[in-house]
Amino acid sequence: MKLILLLALILSSHAYAQGGQGHQGGMHKGDHHGGMHGGELDAATLKQFFEPLPASIIDEKKNETLIKLGRMLYMDPRLSVNDKIACNSCHQLNKFGVDNEPTSPGHEGKRGGRNSPTTLNAALHIAQFWDGRARDVEEQALGPILNPIEMGMPSEEAVVNKLKKIEEYQDLFPKAFKDDKDPFQYKNVGKAIGAFERTLLTPSRFDDYLKGDKDALTADEKRGLKKFVHMGCATCHNGIVIGGNSFKKLGLVEPFETDDLGRYEVTGIESDKHVFKVPSLRNITKTGPYFHDGSVETLDEAIRLMAKHQLGRQVGDSFIRDVKAFLGSLTEKGKE
C-alpha cells in the first residue's frame, strides 16, 4: 500500500510539473507560471499531499511525570562527561530545536560532520538522524550521550551511576518508572527524553489552512504553495511534517558533490550511497543553515539547489520568493 501511495505521489507531482511547464527533458527553466493562474489548490490536491498536525501524540496527563523527567534530562548538561553539553545545547528550544550552526561543537569543542536537525515535530518522522539509524526519538536520545565527539560519556553504566547521585533524579526516576524494579536503567533515559520530545509539536497557519480556513494564508503564500506542488517539491516534502517520511538520494537528477555516504553507512547497500532522510520543512525559515552538512547558508540558495539537483530544474527569483513565502507559513504560530 505504501509503495502504491508513493508511486501515486510521484506520478501526480510529475503530471503537475509537466502540465504546468509545457516541455520535458534536461534542465528546465521553471520560473514561468504555466498552469498557475488564479484560484487555489483544491481540497483533494491538498489532501493528497498534506495532513495537518495532530493535536497531540502522547497523553500528557497520563505521562506527566515521565515528560517532566524527560524535559529535565533534555536540558541537563550533566548528561555530558564534563557537565557542559546538554541535548538543548545543539537542539535549542528557543531556536526552533536547532543551534543555527553548520555542525555542532561537542564537549571538547570538536564538531561532527553533520548538521544538528531540529527536535521539533521529530517524533513524527519515519526514523531519526540524517541516515535514519535510530528508529524513534527514544532511541535517538541515547546516541549523542555516548558519542565521543558530542557528550562524551564513556558508558551506559557511567551515565546511570551519575544520575543516581543527583537528588532530583532520585525522586523522579522511581515516580516515572514505578513499575520497574530498577528505574535507573539507561534505556529509561531515552524513554523519558523521547516522551518529552513527543510534546514538541508546532502547529502553524498552514495547519489552519488544511483544516479549511482559507484566510490562514496570504495570497503570496498560496501562490508559493501552488508552485511548490506544481514543480514537484511535494513528491518528497509531503505528509504531516512536510517531509521526514522517506529517504532520497541527494543529487537525484543532477549530481551533488558530497563525501558523506549517508544511509549507506547504516545499511551497506550500494544504492543507499548519498541517500539521506528528507528533512521536514516545518519551521524551515528558522532552522538554517541547510542540508546534511549545514553547507548552505540561506533558504533561497537551498530552494535553488533542491530544484536543480532533485528535480533537474532551474528556478528564478520569483519562484524562490513565492515558495519561500509559503514555507514561512509552516512556522509555529505566534513565533513567526
Residues of each annotated binding site:
87, 90-91, 107, 233, 236-237, 306
Q: Which residues are annotated as a binding site for heme c?
A: 87, 90-91, 107, 233, 236-237, 306
| Cα distances (angstroms) measured from residue 180 to each of 66, 141, 175, 265 | 13, 20, 10, 35
Grid coordinates given for 36: 498557475
Residues, the chain, total? Answer: 336
Neighbours of 108 (CB within 10 A): 13
Exposure string of 155-170, with b = 16+ CB inside 10 Å and e = fewer, is eeeebbebbeeeeebe
DSSP string, 125-165: SSSBSTT--BSSHHHHTTHHHH-TTTT----HHHHHHHHHT
Hey, how many other C-beta atoms are within 10 angstroms of the C-beta on 47? 11
Catalytic residues: 150
